[in-house]
Amino acid sequence: MEENIIKTEYSEVMQKSYIDYAMSVIVARALPDVRDGLKPVQRRVLYDMYELGIKYDKPYRKSARIVGDTMGKYHPHGDSSIYDSLVVMSQGFKKGLPLVDGHGNFGNIEGDGAAAMRYTEARLQKITQEAYLGDLDKDVVDFIPNFDQTEREPSVLPVKIPNLLVNGSEGIAVGMATSIPPHNLGEVIDATKAYMKDNSITTVELLRYVKGPDFPTGGIVINKDELLNIYETGSGKIKVRGKVEIEKGKNGKTNVVITEIPYPMIGANISKFLMDIAALSETKKTVDIVDISNQSSKDGIRIVVELRKDANVDNFVNMLYKKTRLEDTFGVNMLAIDNNRPETMGIKKIIQRNVEFQFEVTTRKYTNLLNKELERKEIQEGLIKACNVIDLIIEILRGSKDRTMAKACLVDGKVEGIKFKSKESKVMAQQLMFTENQANAILEMRLYKLIGLEIDALISDHENTMANIYRYEDILDRKDSMAQVIMNELDAIKKEYGVARKTVVENAAEAVYEENKIEEMEVMFLMDRFGYAKTIDMTTFERNKDAALTENKYIFKCKNTGKICIFTNTGQLHTVKVMDLPFGKFRDKGIPIDNIGNFDSTKDELRLITSQMELNLYRVIFVTRQSMLKVVDGGEFDVNKRTVVATKLQEGDEVINIELFIEQKNIVLQTAGGYFLRFPLEDIPQKKKGAVGVRGMKLTDKDEIEAVYYTQNAVEHDIMYKEKKIELNKLKLGKRDSKGIKVRV
């Protein structure tokens, strides 16, 4: 067999493969279609349930059966993605209009996941069956082969409402993501009808019908004036607040009750919200909180914060808006697939594409219905005509040798071989001109159809058929008639399934609160060797001074209103507010410093921890493993950012030592290869924090700085190096950027 080897640039193959993969994820996995508002996996789950006959008025079926059938026939991408989609479509707290009726544990608003698919059951919702799948049997959409060409599936569902707006959508593709909020069904239908009546309608006019997003969790949208730009462009940020009610508590106390939460808080963020409230009390941001309880149930959200008697309730609520996720942001990016291309669309474009789709579906539906009525009309007219000459037809049937001979006579008037009772019958038979379909219907007609009542019913059916034909032709010929049909269907859906708006849309002032004035005082910072940090008052420290010095690695004085500065080996400075550290008893454990700092203690090594107050008084010495040195004024690190670059590092380098420049006179650099170099600290130039520094010592190949020591004149400083005592002050005073001396051991 001759080999066919194609030579090509590897980068071109990779680029093409990646683009093909990206487009597959974008079009076939992650983004919804603008016409039915569904992702492929959602569409396939609903169609599979439709095919299995799991209707709203039928018994529930195991979710595992639905997932397995969908995966085997239509969606070969793993059962978890299919089941996750099924679960989300059943969750009323995520979808404005749930499409699946779930039976069993399908998760809850607080973030608990659904039970395994073998335990839960599901069936279609009534609206899904009627408004999403109802016309599939009328050839209204194209069917395409499935992944292995053994089945056929709809390329889109004939959804009768703008589902992309009603239920919204979220998805992450390659290089792009969609995030569309849910909206009120009745409002979207009203906006759709308004567009159908006037195609030149503006977004401003559409927003008279669609007030804004309508989240299943309720809440309050507070930037109403910004919605116009968001719905014009298809992107922006919607600010949402939870709903707060004030109730009287016991003993004159006040209860702040959260009854609705922002939509982005769904799931684990509720527990995070409770922790954030508790943290406000622990860090003394507020002293008003007496108790916090989550009394939420299947009836709704109810989070109760009990405040002390003299609390400023309005100020506390504003603090919750500012310091917790009780006020949150929903990022809008109305990205969907339109004509096999991802496109960000405004609300008018989405409604326009949906209306065009409705006209396309309705045209195909009534064309199909018209053709069936025309076929029925042909048969009915043939049977009525046959009833009028039934004696002749019976004579033809009795005189024919077989069905073919009888049919030829009925269709073409051929009488050869047929025995007639009279010449008149033969002449009349030659004049018969039935169609093929009429002849077949006559030959298959049962004798009871000759009863008078049956003939009357046939004539009545024919009249109904003619009325239907006239109506269908009118719908197909006149756009106004078709538009009225679509609007009537929308009205029926709104009447049966429309619900009141849950989310309030308004313009609200930015939450402003006054922080409690904290009495400034000196405290002692303590951090043990395991990284647990806390602060205690000075009196407590003096009483436990010996134990504190023994048990802790870092101890220094600071102001409770100040900041702690943490330098790491990566050249980063991380700042932590002293108020964020627990303040209490000496035997309290404290919290890991990296929990409130912006670094990872498993990867980053601490090189210096000090207070901002002390840092401002001195200069800072930096030494790296590749022997780069510099001195920086401590005031440069008085910054508001939580993380900044303290020193620039060369590739593969790291900070090995950071010290405050206080009374030291000389620096001693020791390499892994046993070289020592002592020189005056004044030889190190002062640089900015973004500088690399200067070379402190010439290193041989593969050698590096291993240790750094500082000495003062006339003060002995001895170290042990490989079991040999070295007096650092007796080392020859050299110059910066020299090789140093080799210590023999």
Question: What residues are annotated to the active site?
Answer: 119
Residue 557 token pair: 């004085």
> CA torsion sign, 48 to 53 to 57 to 62?
negative
Q: What are phi and psi of 737, to 5 degrees?
A: 70, 30
Q: What values do phi and psi take at 250, rounded to 5? A: -75, 150
State in Å, rounded, how far the first CA of the chain is from the last one: 72
Rounded Cα distance between 402 and 546, Å, is 119
What is the dihedral angle through the alpha carbons of 566, 567, 573, 579, rounded to the nearest 10 degrees?
A: 0
3-state secondary structure of 733: strand
**CA 406, CA 429: separation in Å to the nearest integer?**
10
Q: Sort 238 into a burial class: Cβ within 10 Å, 0-12 / 13-18 / 19+.
A: buried
Please name every residue paired with 525 in a beta bridge, in sequence order, or none if there are none: 535, 556
Find out whether 608 and 646 touch, Cβ atoms under 8 Å: no
Q: State the SS3 of 690-718.
A: CCCCEECECCCCCCCEEEEEEECCCCCCE
Task: With H, G, I as helix, E, B as strand and everything else as coil, classify residue 121.
Answer: strand
Looking from the CA of 80 toward its CB, the CA atoms found within 13 Å total 1
Give yes or no for a contact between 704 and 696, defined as CB atoms under 8 angstroms apart: no
Assigned token pair, 552: 């802790």
Q: Decide if 639 contacts 575 (C-beta within 8 A).
A: yes
For 318, the token pair is: 């504003």
Give backbone dihedrals phi and psi of 214, rounded to 5 degrees, phi first: -125, 95
> CA 587, CA 735: separation in Å to the nearest integer?
49
Residue with tokens 């009854």: 259
d(CA 315, CA 292): 17
593 within 8 A of 576, measured Cβ to Cβ: yes
Q: How far apart are CA 605 and CA 586, in angstroms?
A: 26
The kind and range of the H/E element at 266 are none
Cα 642 from Cα 565, distance rounded (Å): 9
